[in-house]
A and B are shown apart, each in its own frame.
Chain A
Amino acid sequence: MVRELIIESTALTKSYGPHIALDSLDIKIEKGATGLLGPNGAGKSTFLKTMLGLIQLTSGEGKVLGFDIRTQGDMIRQRIGYMPEYDALNPGMEAIHQVRYSGELIGMNPNVALQRAHQALEYVGLGEQRYRQVSTFSTGMKQATKLACALIHDPALIIADEPSNGLDATAREFMLNTLETTVNTGHRSVLMASHLMDDVERVCENIVLLHKGKLAAQGKIEDLKAIDREVEIHVWGSANKMEEALTDRGMKVRREGRVMRIGHTGDETYNQILRTASDVGTQVRRMHDHEASLEDLFLVIMERLGHDIKSSEDLLGGV
């Protein structure tokens, strides 16, 4: 099923003099939750700024929610809720008025903005704290206030830059739950830039991976994970022989004590493992598919495959 595209770019390039910040990006982001990944300097911030229509492109084109990022920046920013990574709140203001003001800046009527600010703060779990000054808030409460500022006008797309940055376990859990609820029950889209793979994996079903301004990978996390699929076995007796035999039969083996992970090359892999175990006299006490984490996937893509791959199809085709 083809889902509606919320962000689309073609050969999008941005350079600052000789430095190329974004290098011919062809990105398609569907409705739903998408993680924007990449190491420092990968171009995530520049990409977000281009999506907000704030900087002029060197070449290429892009659309956000159907609006041209070159000429319709105002229209885009009216329909997007942006949650910045760093502090973006006036510490001397009460949370309710901070959120109300952010609504007014989008063009909401002051009374409507105030009413909506109450709802937004209630939604992010600050209903009882809304008349407190922002300066008295913890990091988690500040993050939640920023999210309320982003949500006040019920945007079609929320861009959250490191939403769980600096949060403790409880606050992080709540933030991720809130983003999940926004996507699943609110039916809004989220583009989440983060360094925390677990967070992205928890909220998002798609990722866009940037590296040195280039697109390293994009697609569904589940699809991309298939490039690093392994079978994990727990063996008893003759583990060395087993490892050698598997390697001799052309299988890729990683071993730590009695636990081995063997590269999955097809359904025949299971039979080959069992046959090898039978041949060398090793007991296989446990065998199951090992699902790579997003972090594993990130490392695999960055280190093994490089950044010339453009899509999950390319990645999967190479396996």
Chain B
Amino acid sequence: MEEVESENTPFEPVPSKDEMYGAETPVTGKSQMQAAWSADSGDEEAGAQVAAMPEGQIFEQIYKPWEGTLNPRWMRNWAILRHHLLGVFKKGHRPWNIPTKLFIFFVIIASMTDVAMVLLFGMIGEPELYGIWGVNRDNMYGHVMGFFPRNILYYPIVAALLVGGMISEDRAHGTSAMYFSRPINRFDYAAMKFLSVGLILFFIIDGTLAVYYFADILVMGKGWAWIIDTFPLFIATFACGIILSFTYTSIGLALSSVSRGRFFPAIGLIAILMGTRSMAAIIDGLFDKSILYVISPFDAVAHVCQALIGTEMTYDHPWVWSLISVVVMNGLALYLLANRVSSLEVTRE
């Protein structure tokens, strides 16, 4: 049996120690290494086994099956959300353009100027300047709803850049087919797109608000009494941030859904926000009537937020009218969005 094995092995077996060093061991002239690795004469005949491939063929097409399991609906929706959100930070996801990424970064930093001021004046102990920048009812309202610069230069422009190609580019590039030929329904598609834009705006507006509020607590060493006193204000302002993000997103996405390009929805959103406000301001200036502000999305939300936060009202008409206006505007925008998303084609546009 041993003989057979030694015949079949590709190398010469190493002799045992007894055989190697015993008195009866014959002198062969081979070293131990030679015996172990067969590095002696005879190797010339050995040949390496290489993969066989027809001459000239460098690409072999082989279909490889896949036996894995597919995740449920929530995981598919998470994939859409993740694709859009991670695209802001990483390659390999939705390709947001560089100006958009830079502007988001700029707005996040710029939105925290009040945080910087609180830190500065809190640390140097200047009570009057801290009083201007510290957390209070008006400053919290101003962080979310302040018109200049936040709601003219920051948030509407970020919203415009985000919604610009969100749905319109799916229509233009035909990528809607990639969604709807897969088990993604139209509600999930629109909801995840909405959530993607809404969450980025939410992180910018409410995220920086939270940093502002908690930075004040930490830097100034505020006690529980102050926190209990101001926390409802913080929650109300937080809710205002959500209403503002929601409103900008719904109007912006509705515009994106009726377009095939990036420019129209972006400029359309800014035109609606600024145009309605300018018109209402002119009417207010000429006739001393603030009622037309209900057609301005920003002012309608601002009026509702003034009521929610309890800061000084800057409009003459009842805030409930503005609340109705906010609900109607969002309802119309969502109706348009749903209607247009349902018309996105799989086969051709």
Contacts and interface: CB of A to CB of B under 8 A. Distances in A.
A97 B64 CA distance: 19
Contacts of B179: 105
B76 interface: yes
Interface stretch (A81-89, A233-241, A254-262, A305-313): A81-89
B287 interface: no
B174 A87 contact: yes
A125 to B, nearest CB: 7
Contacts of A110: 79, 82
A162 to B, nearest CB: 10
A88 B175 contact: yes
A74 B75 CA distance: 14
Interface stretch (A18-26, A44-52, A282-290): A44-52
Interface string A144-187: 00000100011000000100000000000000011001100110
A93 B87 CA distance: 10
Contacts of B177: 82, 84, 86, 88
Given A49-B347, A93-B95, A82 B63 contact: no
B83 A101 contact: yes
Interface in B41-86: 59, 61-68, 70-73, 75-76, 79-80, 82-83
Given A77-B182, A123-B63, A153-B66, A90 B175 contact: yes
Contact of B62 (A88, A123, A177): A123
B17 interface: no
A109 B71 contact: yes
Contact of A108 (B61, B70, B181): B70
Nearest to A83: B181
A8 B64 CA distance: 28
Nearest to A127: B59
B93 interface: yes
Interface in A46-101: 48-49, 52, 54, 73-75, 77-78, 80, 82, 84-94, 96-97, 100-101
A75 B82 CA distance: 23
Contacts of A185: 62-63
Given A52-B181, A123-B61, A92 B71 contact: no
A39 interface: no
Chain B interface secondary structure, helix, strand, loop or mixed? loop
Contacts of A91: 173
A54 B180 contact: yes
Nearest to A161: B347
B264 to A, nearest CB: 19
Given A49-B346, A119-B64, A84 B181 contact: yes
B285 interface: no
A35 B173 CA distance: 27
B183 A106 contact: yes
B30 interface: no
A89 B61 contact: no
A55 to B, nearest CB: 9
A41 interface: no
Nearest to B186: A54
A97 B178 CA distance: 13
Contacts of A104: 76, 79, 83
Contacts of A218: none
Contacts of A178: 61
A116 interface: yes
Contacts of B181: 52, 77, 80, 82, 84
Contact of A177 (B61, B68, B70, B94): B61
B39 interface: no
A107 interface: yes
A102 B182 contact: yes
A107 B75 contact: yes
Nearest to A91: B173
Contact of B348 (A45, A82, A101, A125): A45
A125 B70 CA distance: 26
A92 B177 CA distance: 17
B175 A89 contact: yes
A112 B63 CA distance: 17
Contacts of B91: 94, 97
B63 to A, nearest CB: 3
Contacts of B76: 104-107
Contacts of A82: 177, 181-182, 346
A181 B63 contact: yes
Contacts of B346: 49, 52, 54, 82, 84
Nearest to B96: A92
Contacts of A153: 66, 68, 70
Interface in B295-322: none
A71 to B, nearest CB: 13
Contact of A92 (B65, B75, B95, B183): B95
Given A74-B73, A90-B169, A93-B95, 18 more contacts: A49-B347, A52-B181, A74-B185, A77-B181, A88-B177, A88-B178, A89-B175, A89-B178, A93-B92, A97-B91, A97-B92, A101-B79, A101-B83, A105-B178, A105-B179, A105-B182, A123-B62, A154-B67
- In the A-B complex, the 10 residue pairs with the smallest Cβ-Cβ separation, listed nearest first, are A186-B63, A92-B95, A107-B70, A82-B181, A104-B79, A154-B66, A74-B183, A45-B347, A107-B71, A88-B177
